[in-house]
Chain A
Amino acid sequence: MFSEFLQYLFTGITIGATYALIALGFTLIYNASHVINFAQGEFLMIGGMATVSLTAMGVPMLLAIVLAVVLAGVLGVALQRLAIAPAKNADVVTLIIITIGASIFIRGLAQLVWGKEYHVMPNFSGDEPIQIFGAVLNSQSLWVLGVGSVLVAVLVYFFTRTLTGKAILATSMNKDAARLVGIRTQVVLMLAFMVSALLGSVAGIVVAPITFTSYDIGIILGLKGFVAAAIGGLGSGMGAVVGGLALGVVEAMAAGYLSSDYKDAVAFSMILLVLFFMPRGLFGAKVVERV
């Protein structure tokens, strides 16, 4: 009985950590620009697919990972320079629609380059699962959790302790005022897209051994990540992590104790409930809109 509960919990945490990592990427760009970047899932896909195809070409795993992350970073900058920057005076909704268009474009390109098949990436540290009290945990889950915690810590440090991080926050709060105090807001935006692309690709790489990877993996994982970010409160790093884990655990518990048919329904009802009673999410900042 206990081992079953533990198994559901492990499953939930594994899925949840994946969602949390993706949610972090949303958080970053949202913080800088109030744009919800729907191409975030594509950064994830680029990370996984580029690593897989580079290792298939004989590049050592570690170098392949670095190259894939760099590729995603370049793509993030290109996305901001070529698609977002030219529309700098457009309102947020227009920019969000631009990111949707960009994600379709990137996905189409990936399908041409890499084909439509699913690909495997080996676990970072062996296929042997870890046994705890009769439940098993995929060793890759620990990687996801570990990398996730490190990234959260780095992000918190970045936003509260570094000048660049503060510049990003300032830009998000008031673009004109930020410009008046000498922040180059376009550069800040570019930076936010780049960092978020790096983050997304790292997430894509650590989860690929669990989820497999293919040109369209970004759609669903991206959406689930967005949902996690919304539950936690858009813009809050802590919220992204808690939202992701909560979503994953609720899904797994619903599949285990209720019915696997209803697990998505249960997860989505949870979102409705959270957003109904706490419209800014669990950890959302209390922002007062001045009229």
Chain B
Amino acid sequence: MFKKITRRASKVAAIAAAGLLAMNVQAADPIRIGSFLSVTGPASFLGDPELKTLEMYVEKINKEGGVLGRQLELIHYDDAGNASKARNFASRLIRSDRVDIIVGGSTTGATMAAVPMVEQAGIPFISLAGAVVITNPVKKWVFKTPQTDRMAAERVLMDMRERGLNKVGLISGTGGFGSSGREQTLAAAKAMGGIEIVADETYGGSDTDMTAQLTNIRGTDGVQTVLNFGFGQGPAIVTRNYAQLGVELPFYQSHGVASDGFLELAGNSAEGLRLPASPLLVPESLPESDPQKPVVEAYKSEYEARWNTKVSTFGAYAYDGLMLAVEAIEKAGSTDKAAVRDALENIKGHVGVTGTFNMTPDDHNGLQANSFRILEVRDGGWKLID
């Protein structure tokens, strides 16, 4: 009994001492970074790696002395993929937590729900969601780190044109990702010129066979290549049907399936297809001269060592978001919201995992289509083409 008490007392003392030490380090108020992510629910494959990334890098930055001599404090809520929850949490972050900057919003829905609050309160917000609408038209306080689906479409069409493939058969999923991708591909083809979409087929999210659509595309006059814009298991079924039908045309997928899980599902039939993807999938094949190589390699190895799971491109969006926020706060020399916003808008040549960011007042994303790398599936793995 007595032993227990002394043990407990010593524990309490130790905790108190640690607390005192910590207080000494945190002489100044911490910089408060707010976040709302879809850590659970249907979009958890986005929010989970994003939260892990934010947690580990806030920890790391704090260990290395923080930013402007102040520690970072991460305040985080889980919106479970629900836009109205996201809106409430954004409001709570602004009003009661009084954060200095928000890095979050896993889905486009969650992001757009928070945008009005953020714009009204005047607080810098770096979104981690994909759609074009977030930064186009430009909103004063809103930035984002992932490339848009428009860039993915442009990148694929650029690669096709280089190979002399000008007549494209398009097949896309009817889900949000696929249908937005379809629209952006049609628009990009029109804007680029010299490339034509000759077939335009769709499939439902839970369809189990797409041979009919592919047969139609194959029978279209002059078609030279096929692009599938979709997400989930659909593209894997399209890929398998494509191989079963023995279609000889070069085949492209979108960045929506740029993951090892897709290779597993599609198996041998994925051989030879190309897609736009983050360099995170192929860090070791990047040339030494590539400025992104050390950043990508460091993120991948640190993440995998810390969490013991495979790194994901979605976590990288959070990495870039946090690092952009840190750079902007350092440049601004304070956490004054207007100053941080101006600094964010003027970030040039920031090398991140997703790409090299060059923000301008007209471009709050700062990435170009060529930040996507074109990969080809060879021998069941990814091969960097361009």
Instruction: Check A94 for interface membership: any CB of B closer than 8 A.
Output: no
A120 CB within 8 Å of chain B: yes
Tell me whether B213 and A255 are in contact (CB under 8 A): yes
Are B233 and A8 in touch, CB under 8 angstroms? no
Complex contact A11–B206 (CB within 8 A): no
Within 1-23 of A, Cβ neighbours of B (below 8 Å) are at 4, 7-8, 10-12, 14-15, 18
B215 touches A18 (CB 8 A): no
Q: A256 and B206 in contact (CB under 8 A), knowing A120-B267, A127-B268, A212-B265?
A: no
Partner of B219, one of A4, A12, A118: A4
Distance (whole angstroms) from the CB of B345 to the closest CB of chain A: 38
Task: List the A side residues contacting B261 at CB < 8 Å.
Answer: 117-118
In the complex where A4-B215, A212-B265, A214-B233 touch, is A11 in contact with B244 (Cβ < 8 A)?
Answer: no
- Judge whether B209 is part of the interface by a CB distance below 8 angstroms: yes
Report whether B265 and A118 are in contact in the complex, using a CB–CB cutoff of 8 Å: yes
Docked-complex contact B216 and A129, CB < 8 angstroms: no
Q: Restricting to B228-265, which residues have a CB under 8 Å from any CB of A?
A: 232-233, 236-237, 244-246, 261, 264-265
Chain A residue nearest to B206 in the complex (CB):
A220
- Which residues of chain A (94-130) have a CB below 8 Å from chain B? 116-120, 127, 129
Q: Does A138 contact B (CB under 8 A)?
A: yes
What are the residues of chain A within 8 A of B268 when measuring CB–CB? 127
B244 touches A256 (CB 8 A): no
Which residues 172-213 of B sit at the A interface, judged by CB distance below 8 A?
174, 201-204, 206, 208-209, 211-213
Distance between Cα atoms of A255 and B233 in the complex (Å): 19
Residues of A contacting B267 in the complex (Cβ-Cβ under 8 angstroms): 120, 127
Q: How far is the CA of A14 from the CA of B45 in the complex (A)?
A: 32
Least Cβ distance of B144 to chain A in Å? 26
What's the least CB distance linking A265 to chain B, in Å?
A: 11
Asked if B215 and A15 make an inter-chain contact with CB atoms under 8 angstroms apart, the answer reads no
Contact between A136 and B246, CB atoms less than 8 A apart: yes
- With known contacts A4-B219, A8-B215, A120-B267, A260–B208 Cβ distance under 8 A: no
Chain B residues closer than 8 Å to A4, beta-carbon distance: 215-216, 219
Within 8 A of B (CB), among A24-41: none
- The answer to whether B202 touches A260 (Cβ under 8 A) is yes
Cβ-defined contact, A15 with B209, below 8 A: yes
Which residues on A sit within 8 Å (CB–CB) of B174? 261
- Enumerate chain A residues within 8 angstroms of B212, measured Cβ to Cβ: 7-8, 11-12, 252-253, 255-256, 260
User: How many angstroms between the C-alpha atoms of A7 and B245 in the bound complex?
Assistant: 9
Shortest beta-carbon distance from A76 to chain B in Å: 24
Complex Cα distance, B170 from A196, in Å, reads 41
| Interchain CB contact under 8 A, B215 and A256 | yes
Are B233 and A7 within 8 A (Cβ)? no
CB-CB under 8 A for A138 and B244, given A4-B219, A7-B215, A118-B265:
yes
> Distance (Å) between the CB of A111 and the closest chain B CB?
11
Given the interface contacts A138-B244, A212-B236, does A14 sit within 8 Å of B209 by beta carbon?
yes
Query: Which of A119, A136, A264 gathers the greatest number of chain B CB atoms within 10 Å?
Result: A136
**Interface size of A as a range:** 20 to 34
List of A residues within 8 angstroms of B201 by Cβ:
260
Interface residues of A in 248-278 (CB under 8 A from B): 252-253, 255-256, 260-261, 263-264
Contact count A vs B, C-beta below 8 Å: 77
Bound Cα distance A14, B269 (Å): 19
Partner pick for A256 among B216, B232, B265, CB 8 A cutoff: B216
Residues of B within 8 A of A118 (CB): 232-233, 236, 261, 265
* A167 interfacial by beta-carbon distance below 8 Å: no
State whether A136 touches B244 (Cβ < 8 A).
yes
Q: Give CA–CA (A129, B245) in the complex, Å.
A: 8
Q: What residue of chain A has the Cβ atom nearest to residue B201's Cβ?
A: A260
Chain B residues, CB < 8 A from A129: 244-246
Of B44, B208, B244, B264, which is within 8 A of A120 by CB?
A: B264
Q: Does A53 contact B (CB under 8 A)?
A: no
CB contacts (< 8 Å) of A11 on chain B: these are 209, 211-212, 215
Contact of A136 with B245 in the complex, beta carbons under 8 Å: yes
Bound form: Cα–Cα A8–B216 in Å: 10
1/0 per position for A74-110, CB-CB distance to B under 8 A?
Answer: 0000000000000000000000000000000000000
Chain A residues lying within 8 Å of B203, measured Cβ to Cβ, are 255, 260
Contacts of A18 in B (CB 8 A): 208
Which residues from 6 to 45 on chain B have a C-beta closer than 8 Å to any C-beta of chain A? 44-45
Per-position 1/0 for A186-210, Cβ under 8 A of B: 0000000000000000000001001
Q: Which of A168-194 contact B (CB under 8 A)?
A: none
A256 to B218, CA, bound (A): 12
CB distance from B168 to the nearest CB of A (A): 17
Query: Which residue in chain B gives the minimum CB-CB distance to A219?
Result: B206
Q: Any chain B CB within 8 A of the CB of A55?
A: no
Residues of A with C-beta under 8 A to B204: 263-264
A15-B241 Cα distance, complex, nearest whole Å: 13
User: A260 to B213, Cβ gap below 8 A?
Assistant: yes
List which A215-270 residues lie within 8 A (CB) of chain B.
219-221, 252-253, 255-256, 260-261, 263-264
A residues in contact (CB < 8 Å) with B: 4, 7-8, 10-12, 14-15, 18, 116-120, 127, 129, 136, 138, 207, 210-212, 214, 219-221, 252-253, 255-256, 260-261, 263-264
Extra A-B contacts (15), CB below 8 Å, given A7-B245, A252-B209, A263-B204? A4-B216, A4-B219, A7-B211, A116-B45, A118-B236, A119-B265, A127-B268, A136-B245, A138-B244, A210-B208, A211-B237, A212-B233, A252-B211, A256-B213, A264-B204
Closest 3 pairs (CB-CB, A-B): A211-B208, A220-B206, A255-B212
Please report B residues at the A interface, Cβ cutoff 8 Å.
Answer: 44-45, 174, 201-204, 206, 208-209, 211-213, 215-216, 219, 232-233, 236-237, 244-246, 261, 264-265, 267-269
Q: Would you mind naming 23 contact pairs between A and B with Cβ atoms under 8 Å apart? A: A4-B219, A7-B212, A8-B212, A8-B215, A10-B211, A14-B209, A116-B44, A118-B232, A118-B233, A120-B265, A127-B268, A127-B269, A129-B244, A136-B246, A212-B237, A220-B206, A252-B209, A255-B216, A256-B212, A256-B213, A260-B201, A261-B174, A264-B204
